[in-house]
Structure 1
Amino acid sequence: MKKFSLLKIILMFSVFIYLGAGTALASNGNIKSASLEVNLAKQNPDAARPGEPVELTVNVQNVGNANLKDIAVTVNPEYPFSKVSGEELTKKVSYLTARQDDDDAAVLKFKLMTDANASEGTYDIDITTTAKESGSSLNTIATTKTIQLEVKGKEYAQIVTINKASIDLAQKEPLEFIITNTGNSPLKNMVVSWKDPKGVILPVYSDNTKYIKYLAAGDSVTVSYSVMADVNADPGLYTLDVNLKFEDYESNEKSIATTAGLFVGGKTDFDVSFSESDQGEVSLSVANVGNNMAYSVKVSVPDQDGYRVSGSSSTIVGNLEKGDYTIASFNIVSTQSPGVAESGGTPGVARASEKDKNVTSMGSNPLEVQIEYTDAKGERVTVNKEVELETTAGSVNAQGRGRSGSASNSSRFSSYLTYIVLIVVAVAGLFIYRRKKQVEREKESGNKKSEDQKHDSGTGSGTIRD
């Protein structure tokens, strides 16, 4: 029992001696240990932005009891970060003393590129460090530190499309801007406005400002206006200055200025009506009833059922100002009604062939007229119009304002008779007027002779009394 107790005491004493010796050696630096700490000191900017570089400031500190040499610090970027051209991903420190304070730490800077399509969020990046203990080429230490980088979406908006490229003069027309958030972060409190510096194009029913409270990344919104161009404006391309204002994620106001083009002017319209008919020639009045000038106007009568054109079917009438008109004449034969005049009919009446007689009908179709012109944009435009006509055998009249065949002869005879009657009446009136004047002169002459005779008679009586 005594032997066991003595052995136990000896063993315990030996342990205490060993521990004390180890502590003393360690305090004298005879037991060496190495340790490195790597920390992200700063990120510039505080949140990485898509498509922009980000700079990392890294502190490397030796907190162990052994001096270190040949320290290498490597940043291992992963999506959405990548190496910047000309920038190194590994930085070296030649020597770090043991037990460093924070102020003694090595400061290293790295620069990375953020992908342009990076989504908002937090991403991990590994930083690997290797070093050797001073005085020993075999004892190498390695550490890996994972840091987190924040990415904030990029706010950007653009006008993708405008719903039209041109508007007419003095016409209320819709104008729509399609605005898309092409960034990676939502836009808030967005204000959209536009202005024509020349004042030709103006909004109606509202002002030129629209508000959008929220627009998520990748979403689009349509902003609608009703606009009108000055009726007296010169046709041409006008500039719209468009301004977009919005707030970013930090509630800072940003603005984007851009321009768009809008053509004012373009097409016009025409009114075609019957003017007159003479000896088979039909004259049509063509008026520019639109708000734009028409250039190089050509009027044509196309092939159609019920009518046949003798001679040229087209005529160029030149330019037509808005509100102006011109006359276009064609030799037109109707093939719609029976009783076509024979070839030996009255001169001045349009005739139809035997073949035409077989296809005539009692119906009356409108005459199709085609108008071609160049608009203010330089584009060739075709407009089709119809003129209501009344037809008889082989000739054309409009709205009963003309006759053909015997009806035309009767009308012409009636006109001649009217002229003859008017002439006879005029001659008779002149004769009666002159006769009346002659009678009045004769009466005046007779009255004068009577007075003279009375005077002469009075004079003779006096002489006899003497």
Structure 2
Amino acid sequence: MRKFSLLTFLLLLSTFLCLGVGTAFGGSNGNINSAAVQVNVTNQNPDTARPGEPVELTLSVQNIGNDDLKDIKVALNPEYPFSKLSGEDLEKSISYLNARQDDDDAGVLKFKLMTDANASEGTYDLDIVTTYKSGSSSNTITTTKTIQLEVQGKEYAQVVTVSKADIDIAKEEPLEFIVTNTGTSPLKNLVFSWNDPKGVVLPVYSDNTKHIKYLEAGQSVKVDYTVMADVSATPGLYTLNVNLSYEDADSNSKNIQTTAGLFVGGTTDFDVSFSESSAGETSFSVANVGNNIAYAVKVSIPDQDGYKISGSSSTIVGNLEKGDYTIASFDVSNSQGGNSQGGAGGNTTGNGPGTPPDSSQAGANNASSNSIGSSDPLKVQIEYTDAKGERETVTKEVNLETTTSGNMTAAGGPGGPGNRAGVGSYLPYIGLLVLAGGIFVYRKKIHERIQARKGKQSEYKKPDSEV
């Protein structure tokens, strides 16, 4: 009985020892083995897969069993973000492997896979499928091993937008750049800068360099500047050289260079003032008071209450450089009829409110073409083509008054308030002429009398010889 128990114990112990050896050969311990095959990744190039780039894997296929193996096939079963690389096989074969191989005797297989360009940073699984036949059996054995590959995020940034396409000359203008991390890995220690090679556009209140400490994947940041274009700049499109440098995950510095276009020049402004009025025409001085040239300038008097234009209501004066001016003339009269009151409703005939004018006053009013007070401004419209080739319109107002003959004068100038009574406005000049004529006649008569008296005295006075 004891012998049987001892024999039973030894048999069981042998069974457990065999199972332990089998476990040693077939256990994973990071490797996927069949009963006798062990597959390991001995090298990966690059060490961390990069989006949009291939990754090469070197596999060691070792027979650690007691039987020789034949028809060994090793295949990769890639899933996102890995895929088959054009021209490369996903399955490779080894015809024969001897039993109990050393590491130096193992078979070596190389595979290449493509990493998706938009892969995010992280660790991904990859299955390796191995099939083979044992020398002592015709059965095919299949095993699968799952390994993990690390993918480094895509490190890339770009200047997505520039807030302005044009700036005016000699004017402080805001300029905003938006920098976006379009990769899948964060960026750190970014340095953004730009410059105009011609030196026309320059930053004010700061230099041209901005620092960004950290930028997450997919995140955007605004980089603000205040810029100004040289007052003597020629309108046109200027190139901005944009530079962006940053550090990758390995603290290696990378640099991105690009360009942006910025148009310098744009609209301008005008000043319109009364010039003179004569022969039924009213003239205006039109000056370009902005910093840009105005092309094909057209001056018009639009339809408006209180004024009437006889003849053409617009004139083309050509190009106006900044600081230049021109004269535009129009036949402007008051369109209000039946009275000679000012724009504020005041009475200009010298009579009190409600007093009807006499016939002489009525005649003067009819001849005055309905004068209007300075409270009714005349609208002058200016159309021009700016430096960008766009048609612009500016409207200005000019305060005017009319003389008794209907001609326009500047408010408060000759012919202004108090000089609206027709011929009465010329009475001071007539008085002066009459006075000057009277003085001339008077002096002439006095001179004649003196000459007459001298003549009489010479008749009565005898020479000494006659006495």
TM value normalised by structure 1: 0.78
3-state DSSP class of the match of 2:177? strand
Mapped pair 1:167 → 2:179: no
Match in the other structure for 2:356: none
Aligned to 1:313: 313
- Partners in 2 of 1:273 and 1:350 — Cα distance? 23
Cα distance, 1:361 vs. partner? 8.4
Gaps of 5+ in 2: 22-33, 342-359, 448-467
What is the CA deviation profile of residues 154-211 of structure 1, one whole-angstrom value per residue up to 9, with x for unaligned ones? 1111111111111111111111111111111111111111111111111111111111
Q: Helix, strand or coil for the counterpart of 1:388? A: strand
1:397 maps to 2:398: no
Does 1:193 pair with 2:193? yes
The CA distance in 1 between the partners of 2:37 and 2:237, in whole Å, is: 69
Q: Where does residue 77 of structure 1 map in the other structure?
A: 78
Q: Answer with 90-99 or 316-325: which moved more.
A: 90-99
Give the corresponding residue for 2:7: 12
Partner of 1:446: none
- Structure 1 pair 421/72, CA: closer, same or farther in 2 (3 Å)? farther
More helix by share: 1
Correspondence for 1:143: 143
Question: CA separation in 1, counterparts of 2:374 and 2:321?
Answer: 37
Distance 1:318 1:305 in 2: 28
- Displacement of 1:243 in angstroms is 0.7
Aligned counterparts, 1:41-440, within 5 A: 41-134=42-135, 136=137, 138-336=138-336, 339=339, 351=369, 364-390=375-401, 396-403=408-415, 407=421, 409-412=423-426, 414-415=428-429
Q: Give the secondary-structure state (helix, strand or coil) at the position aligned to 1:119.
A: coil
8 Å contact kept, 1:122–1:149: yes
Cα distance in 1 for partners of 2:102, 2:436 equals 132
Q: CA deviation at 1:47?
A: 1.1
CA deviation vs aligned residue, 1:296-335 (integer Å, no higher than 9, x gap): 1000111112222111111000111110101111111223
How far apart, in 1, do the equivalents of 2:293 and 2:158 lie? 36
Q: Which structure has the greater CA radius of gyration?
A: 1
Q: 1:345 to 1:221 in 2, by over 3 A?
A: farther
Task: Tell me the SS of whatever aligns to 1:197.
Answer: coil
Counterpart CA distance in 2 for 1:399 and 1:76 is 93
Task: Figure out how many residues of one structure are paired with residues of the other and give that number.
Answer: 407
Residues 169 and 230, structure 1, Cα contact 8 Å, conserved in 2: yes
Cα deviation for residue 416 of structure 1 reads 6.3
- SS of structure 2 residue aligned to 1:103: helix
Going from structure 1 to structure 2, the CA distance change for 1:36 and 1:307 (only over 3 Å counts) comes to: same
Cα distance change of structure 1 residues 335 and 95 upon mapping to structure 2, 3 Å threshold: same
Deviations 1:241-287 (A, max 9, x none): 11101111111111111111111112111001111122432111100
> Structure 1 residues 386 and 67 mapped into 2: Cα distance closer, same or farther (>3 Å)?
same
Taking a change above 3 Å as real, the CA distance of residues 35 and 399 of structure 1, as seen in their structure-2 partners, is same
Q: Alignment RMSD, CA only?
A: 3.5
Q: Percent identity?
A: 64
Deviations along 1:348-406, one digit per CA (max 9) or x if unpaired, are: 97736xxxxxxx98783221111111111111111111112235786543213253995
Return the alpha-carbon distance in structure 2 between the equivalents of residues 314 and 73 of structure 1.
Answer: 89
Q: Is the 8 A contact 1:34 1:68 kept in 2?
A: no
Cα deviation for residue 98 of structure 1 reads: 1.1
- More displaced, 124-133 or 92-101? 92-101
TM-superposed deviation, 1:407: 4.0
Paired residue type of 1:398: A
